[in-house]
Amino acid sequence: MFIQDKVGSLGVEFLATKDSPIHNLALIINNWDGGEASLKLNGKNVDEGKSFRQGIEYDVEGNQKLIVFIKYQSDKNTIVELSQTKLSIK
């Protein structure tokens, strides 16, 4: 479920249960155009490291894709918020 829409920010709620848990997330956000991102899980900041990795890739037209890996497991609904931290230079 998409929950937020403002420039340089994205929020998504992942619905999970015991029968359908969350087990690590890999996200690709096309046309991100916001540089590196900061991450909040259920309102708590997550520092970049083993549990949160990211990278920026460019397509042949120079459009950015934000690639995010989140090491996380839960059987409860989870809100993931990504926000722009720095602009990248094209």
Model confidence at 88, in pLDDT bands (50, 70, 90)?
A: very low
The string of pLDDT tens digits covering residues 15-63 is: 999 999 999 999 999 988 778 999 999 999 999 999 999 999 999 999 9
Predicted TM-score (pTM) above 0.85: no
Model confidence at 4, in pLDDT bands (50, 70, 90)?
A: very low
Q: Where are the domains of the chain?
A: 2-84
CATH dotted code for 2-84: 2.60.40
- CA-based R_g, the chain, Å: 13
Beta-sheet strand order (sheet of 64-74): 22-30, 64-74, 52-58
Q: Give the model's pLDDT for residue 60.
A: 93
Q: Are 59 and 67 in contact (CB under 8 A)?
A: no
CA angle 78, 79, 83 (to 5 degrees): 145
CA distance 49 to 58: 22
Of residues 31 and 2, more confidence is placed in: 31
